[in-house]
Amino acid sequence: MIELTLLCPADQVDAVSDALMEELDALAVTVEDADADTPDEAPIFGEPGMPATLSASIGGWQRSVVKALFNDEDAATDACTLLLAQDGEDGDSAFTDLHVQGLYPVADQDWVRLTQSQFEPVLITSEFWIVPSWHKPPAGATRVMRLDPGLAFGTGTHPTTRMCLRWIARHADLANPWPRVLDYGCGSGILAIGAGLHGARDIDAVDIDFAAVESSRANAAANGVTLHRVGLPDLAEGQYPVVLANILAAPLKLLAPLLSGHVAPGGSLVMAGLLERQIEELQATYAPWLALEVADREDGWVLLTARRP
Ligand SMILES: C[S@@+](CC[C@H](N)C(=O)[O-])C[C@H]1O[C@@H](n2cnc3c(N)ncnc32)[C@H](O)[C@@H]1O
CATH class of 154-307: alpha beta
Indicate the residue type of 15: A
Please report which confidence band the pLDDT of residue 44 belongs to, taking 50, 70 and 90 as the band edges: low
* Domain ranges (residues) in the chain: 2-108, 154-307
What is the arithmetic mean of pLDDT over 214-223? Answer: 96
Residue nearest ligand 1's atom 10 by CA: 247
| Most confident stretch, 4-8, 97-101, 116-120 | 4-8
pLDDT tens for each residue of 128-186: 999 999 899 999 899 999 999 887 888 999 999 999 999 999 999 989 999 999 999 99
Q: What is the ipTM of this complex?
A: 0.99
Please report which confidence band the pLDDT of residue 63 belongs to, taking 50, 70 and 90 as the band edges: confident
What is the CA(207)–ligand 1 centre distance, in A?
Answer: 6
The Cβ-side half-sphere exposure at 14, using a 13 Å CA radius, reads 6
Please report which confidence band the pLDDT of residue 277 belongs to, taking 50, 70 and 90 as the band edges: very high
Output 231 or 118, whichever has higher pLDDT: 231
CATH number given to 2-108? 3.30.70
pLDDT at residue 92 tops 90: no
Residue 158 has a pLDDT of 94
* pTM passes above 0.90: no
Residue 119 has a pLDDT of 85
pLDDT at residue 85 tops 90: no
User: What is the C-alpha to C-alpha distance for residues 154 and 148, in angstroms, rounded to an integer?
Assistant: 9
Closest ligand 1 atom to residue 48 Cα is 16
What is the arithmetic mean of pLDDT over 98-121? Answer: 85
**Which residues does the annotation place in the binding site for S-adenosyl-L-methionine?**
161, 185, 207, 246
| 280 phi, psi to nearest 5 deg | -65, -40
pLDDT at residue 16 tops 80: yes
Residue 144 has a pLDDT of 97
Mean pLDDT, rounded, of the chain: 91
What is the arithmetic mean of pLDDT over 193-218? Answer: 96
Q: Which of 53-57, 65-69, 72-76 has the lowest mean pLDDT?
A: 53-57
What is the CA(64)–ligand 1 centre distance, in A?
Answer: 29
What is the CA(187)–ligand 1 centre distance, in A?
Answer: 5
Output 47 or 101, whichever has higher pLDDT: 101
